[in-house]
Each structure stands twice: as C-alpha cells, then as structure tokens.
Structure 1
C-alpha cells in the first residue's frame, strides 16, 4: 500500500504547487499589486512598477516549476537569475518611487510587494539549499534571501514595511533551515548506507576466505598427498581423488551461496544476515572432516554448555575453528595431532586450537599467507572478543580466541 501512495504523492506535488501559486497570483491581482498593464510604460508610476513586478513574479514562478528538470548546477543558476531579476526590480521600484509626482494622472507607488513572488523565491531558496551544488548554492542563496527581504523596503522604511520585512525574514530563515536540514539528513543517510555497504563487502570478503579457502586448501593438501603416494601406493589414489572431488563440490557450493547472497541482498536493510549461520554441529563436522582429509588425529573437547549461544557468538566460534584448521593445513608440517578445545565460563567462551607440528618450509609453490588472521581478528573484535596467536608451550602453534557471551555486548553487531 505504501509503494502505491508514494508515486501519487510525488506526482501531485508540483501540480499542487502550481495551483497554489496561481491562487496567490489571482489574490495579488485582486489587490491591484500589478496595476494596469495597458500603458504601464507611458509614464513611470505605480503601474510601471506593477508590470515590472509581474514580470519578475512570472520568472520566479517559472523557475520554481521547472526546478524538477534542473540539475544540481542548473537549479542554483535558475534561482540566482530569478533573485537577480527580483533585486533589479526592487532597485527600479525604489528609483521610480523617488521620482517627483507632479503631473496629473500619475499614480504614486505605495505597496511594492505581493505574495506570489516571495512564495516562489522561498521555494527556490529551499530547493537550492537542499539539492544545489554546494558552491553554486552558496552563491545563489544570499541573493534569494536578500530578494525576499528587501522588496517590502523598496519604497521606504516605515512601520508597515518593517513588519512585512520581518515576517519575510522569518519565512526566508525557515526555508533556509528546512532546506539545510533535509540536505544534512539525506547526506547522513547516504553516509550510513555507504557504511553499511562497506561493512557488507568486508563481511562477504571474510566469508569467501573462510569457506572457499578452507576447501581449496584441503584440495591442495590432498592433491599433494596423492602425488607423493601415487608411485608407491597407487591404490590410495582413487580415494584421494574422491575426497578432492568432494572438497571441490563443497567449495563450489559455498561460493554459489556467497554469490547468491551478493546478488539478493537488499542494501537498504541493515538486518540482512551477511553470512551462513553455523553452530556446534558445524564445528564438530569441521574437526571430523579435518581428520579425514589430513590423515592425522583431530580432537574436539567441549567443556560447558554450548546449547544457548547467541547466533553471532556460535557463528564466530565456527569461523575461528575453520581459520585455525585451514592455517594448520597451510603452514604446519609433520603434525600428528590437532586439538580444538572449547571452554564455556561465566565470562564467555575460550576457543583454543593447537597442533604439534613444525612450520612448513617453502618448497615449490607456497600455499602463501593472506588476510585470514586479519579478517578473523576483525570478526572477533566486532562482538567484543580478541584473538591471540603464537607458539604453543608444548611445541607447534596455537590460536586462542576469547569471546564474550553477554547479550548486552554488541549483540546486534
């Protein structure tokens, strides 16, 4: 229902504005603001100033009604032109009003203002501050402001003209404030949308690394193992190829999932899940798969209750274990055992992954480093945790992450 109403409202704005300006024009004409157009320039008097005011009014109204078709630079130019003509008209009225009135039939200039032209200039002022290019808007805005305020003072300074100028000043200030407020709100919304899109891209980059690199690393390790045993034990090659095929299929599945999320995500929403959710079952599957692929022993120890973990914490635990096991495959050699130890305490969860191997030497084409640990540290920091890496006391390497479980600690991140 909302999507149907908005186009109708948007389409009705400018016809409504045109109707209101036309009504104001009829009101000004009924008050004699534009004088008699026939013979207005036969002599310089109130009828001449009325004709000048009518021309200035038509220009301001035309610029306002044409504003939807003007760009960020065209709109300030149109507003500046309308304001310049209005200021020129004010100067002409001031000069004509000071001419001596001696001849018969000359009508003196009394009230040199109407409502239609100020209304159009106020609309141009609001739109220019809202949509105009900053430099050109800064130049045309003072001209519009002055054109609205100075017109009542064209003939002279008196009690009535001061009161009218005061109300016009309030109206111009309100128009300036409205335009500036809308501009700042839109700029802030765009900034937040850009920030959300950047966060989404960063999150997608982490997930692509976590899921795809994990499976690809397994494929590389298995291919290296199959090549090394092909000559000595060829019967082990077909099972290794099956495992490579399975890991490749999992990598493609993960990549399709991530690409699908990239295509389907609605950037206007900030509550879109940016990554596949995972829990303890997926953590156990990771450890079991690692033992199957690597040929070494992998153990999972879980001390405490992990049934009621917040979604973001459970998913982060899964990512920590995935990245640590991927790094063991990439950078460790001669390892026989990998231990994944999860501890739940009152303050949070400690995830510790350690192996008993040695650093891998660069032979042939290295598996290389990347953004895994950096992305992991960023992911953990989002929910208020921290990551520490370094040599384990008993040898090998250890990755340890501490994650808070308190729902009040950035649970909506």
Structure 2
C-alpha cells in the first residue's frame, strides 16, 4: 500500500509540474506584484495538495484554508486593478479541486463543512469577480461543474469508508456472538461432565472408595480442558494480533473422543466417506454432537443407550443423536439448541429436536456438503 501511495504522489507531482509549465507557456501568471501573489498561491496550493494525503482529519481542513485564502486574496486584488484581468491559473485550480475532494473524503465533518465552501468559492470567483463577461461566466460554470465532480468524488469515498467500517463492525459483532455460542457449547459440555463425575464420585465414596480416585482424575482432566477452551475463546473475543495462537477447528474425527468421554452408554456409527469435507461442515457436525450429548447429560433421566450416527449420502451429511431416557423438563430447547440452529442454518442445513417415536429424545441435522 505504501508503494501505491508513493506512485500516486509522484503522479500528482508530475501533473502539477506539467500544469505549471502550461501556466508559464500560456502566460496566465503576469510579471508584476499580482503575478508574484498568484505564483505563491499556486505553489502553496500544490504543496498542500501533495502533502494532503499524509495530514490528519483535523489538520487537513485547517491547512487547506491557506491556499484558498491566498487565491481569494489574489482574486480580490486583481479586481481592484485597472485591467481587471481574471487571475486564473491551471495549477492552483487543479490543486484546489483536489483539496476539495480530499477534505470531503478525509476531513472532520464539522471542519469540512466550512473548508469545502471556502475552497469552492476561491475557485469559482477567479474568472467572474474581476470582470463579469459572458466568457467568464461560462468559465465559472465550467469550474462549478468541476467542483461538483470533486465534491461528489470525495463524498463517495467517505461513504465507502463508512460502509466498510460498518461492515467490519457487523462482522466483529457476528464473530463475537459466534464465539459466545462456542463458549457456551464447549465449556458447558466440560462443566456438565465435571458436575456428573463429582456426583458419581460422591455416590461411590461409601460403597466403592477405590473408584473415587479415577473419578477425581477424570474431573481434573475435564477441568483442565475446560480452562484451556475458555482461554482460547476469551483470546478470540479480544482483538486478535499476529501472535495469537488459534487452535484448529474440530473435525468429524474428534466426535469419537466426545462419545468416549460421555461413557459406555454412548455408541458411534460412521457411514460413508468424510475425507475432504469443508472445515466449517465438519466443525458443525462436531458441534451438533457435542450439544446433543450435553443436553442428554443435563435433561435426560435413566438414559441407558445413546446412539450417535453420522452418515453421508451424496451431497448431504446426516447427524442423529438419540437417547432412550426420560426428559426432566417439558422441553430441551435452551440457548444451546437455539444457537446450534443458527450455526446449522449458516451452512445451509436444517436441524430438528424432539421426542422420539419410541421414547427418549432425538436430535437430527441435515447438512449440505456444498453449503447450498
């Protein structure tokens, strides 16, 4: 980007030098005190125009007033002379038009609202203030058209910048909402497991004390994983920098670990070829299974069997998680399932959850491989 700005700066400098040569050959700058003022005004306008891209939103409108005031002063002084010839110079005019576009684009709104009209007046008044003839009026109208183009270009660039900032803000908000759902799903999965293991360890403490130590080890492992997941998610919620360590997204291969951690009552069935599936699709499959197993732990009583089935048929991947337990509450549609529905819809799929035909609870998702 720096090289691009350097090339643009060189191109602008070459243009202003060329216009200066045109002014010299055409004799638009006279050899008298007013001509010296015109020359100084044109040089100042050219320097400010070249330095403009590097000035801040406050400095730029303020500095741009200097060439506007010197050009306006030269016009007023010329109007008081005997010949009253219009003090028009190509270099100063083009430089001022460029400054108008630049201030309309990058200047602070309140300052730009003052600076742009002053610059426009300095340009338009050049031909008509000293002498009001038909030719000068036509020249003023042509300059007005050039000013309209300059202002429109600057405002268009400003609106594009505002639109990009809003889009970036919307993307950041969407990412933060996604990270919040991830935090709920991943950490909630581990915390639910910790609670159940602690309850089981307490129940076994009197009858089978030898099983308490393995249960405590599993609680420690689950707590460590929960803390690691929370650190990753909180890190993602912060402003990312070049040194941030992002863990890879979960895949279908990681589902086996979820099922194993759930316990012996859960079984996994894989049917089809899953190599080469998009990363977001595999991550969504993993999320569906994780949320469904978490809901079984939270809301199901006496679940002796939990079936996890993942199959691929053509361009669709089907995920089924079913248990044979009794629901503790009337429904299981909490924040996790709502967020999961949004995640599945984002990849073009659909999900439904409800009581199974033979009892228990069933979560079933259909995901397109191509995201259609």
TM-score, length-scaled by structure 1 = 0.74
Aligned partners of 1:214 and 1:322 also within 8 Å: yes
Question: Which residue of 250, 271, 276 maps to 1:278?
Answer: 250
- In the alignment, structure 1 residue 329 sits paired with structure 2 residue 329: no
SS at match of 1:231: helix
SS at match of 1:229: helix
Superposed CA deviations along residues 30-51 of structure 1, whole A, max 9, x for unmatched, are 93735423xxxxxxxxx5xx56
Taking the aligned partners of 1:239 and 1:329, their CA distance within structure 2 comes to 20
Taking the aligned partners of 1:54 and 1:213, their CA distance within structure 2 comes to 73
Taking the aligned partners of 2:92 and 2:214, their CA distance within structure 1 comes to 86
Name 1:72's counterpart in structure 2.
57
Question: Which residue of 92, 99, 118 maps to 1:143?
Answer: 118
Question: Which residue of 217, 227, 240 maps to 1:242?
Answer: 217
Taking the aligned partners of 1:357 and 1:274, their CA distance within structure 2 comes to 38
Distance 1:408 1:209, change over 3 A: closer
Aligned partners of 2:16 and 2:91 also within 8 Å: no
Give the number of the structure whose residues are more often helix, by fraction: 2
Superposed CA deviations along residues 209-266 of structure 1, whole A, max 9, x for unmatched, are 3322212221111011111221232122011112112222332443455466667956
Taking the aligned partners of 1:258 and 1:114, their CA distance within structure 2 comes to 61
Taking the aligned partners of 1:28 and 1:149, their CA distance within structure 2 comes to 22
Taking the aligned partners of 2:226 and 2:107, their CA distance within structure 1 comes to 49
Moved more, 206-215 or 248-257: 248-257
Aligned partners of 2:341 and 2:351 also within 8 Å: yes
Distance 1:305 1:55, change over 3 A: closer
Name 2:277's counterpart in structure 1.
309
Moved more, 109-118 or 230-239: 109-118
Equivalent positions of 1:192-207 (< 5 A) are 192-207=167-182
Distance 1:178 1:32, change over 3 A: closer
Name 2:196's counterpart in structure 1.
221
Taking the aligned partners of 2:121 and 2:256, their CA distance within structure 1 comes to 73
Name 1:124's counterpart in structure 2.
99
Aligned partners of 1:28 and 1:114 also within 8 Å: no
SS at match of 1:241: helix
SS at match of 2:119: helix
Aligned partners of 2:104 and 2:112 also within 8 Å: yes
Taking the aligned partners of 1:260 and 1:79, their CA distance within structure 2 comes to 44
Distance 1:6 1:56, change over 3 A: closer
Taking the aligned partners of 1:347 and 1:212, their CA distance within structure 2 comes to 32
Taking the aligned partners of 1:32 and 1:124, their CA distance within structure 2 comes to 21
Aligned partners of 2:28 and 2:87 also within 8 Å: no
Name 2:140's counterpart in structure 1.
165
Gaps in structure 2 of 5+ consecutive residues: none
Superposed CA deviations along residues 279-318 of structure 1, whole A, max 9, x for unmatched, are 33211221122115xxxx1122344444453332222111
Equivalent positions of 1:81-120 (< 5 A) are 82-83=67-68, 86-87=71-72, 90-91=75-76, 93-94=78-79, 96=80, 108-120=83-95
SS at match of 2:263: helix
Aligned partners of 1:211 and 1:251 also within 8 Å: yes
Deviation at 1:388, TM superposition (A): 1.9
Name 2:326's counterpart in structure 1.
358
Name 2:259's counterpart in structure 1.
287
Question: Which residue of 8, 13, 17 maps to 2:9?
Answer: 13
- In the alignment, structure 1 residue 380 sits paired with structure 2 residue 352: no
Aligned partners of 1:18 and 1:65 also within 8 Å: no
Superposed CA deviations along residues 364-410 of structure 1, whole A, max 9, x for unmatched, are xxxx99742222112111101122222333333222222122x252x
Deviation at 1:76, TM superposition (A): 3.2
Taking the aligned partners of 2:129 and 2:24, their CA distance within structure 1 comes to 18
Taking the aligned partners of 1:27 and 1:347, their CA distance within structure 2 comes to 69
Name 1:40's counterpart in structure 2.
none
Superposed CA deviations along residues 85-120 of structure 1, whole A, max 9, x for unmatched, are 6446545544x25xxxxxxxxx52223222343233
- In the alignment, structure 1 residue 33 sits paired with structure 2 residue 67: no
Aligned partners of 1:28 and 1:115 also within 8 Å: no
Larger Rg: 1
Deviation at 1:323, TM superposition (A): 0.8
Taking the aligned partners of 1:198 and 1:31, their CA distance within structure 2 comes to 59
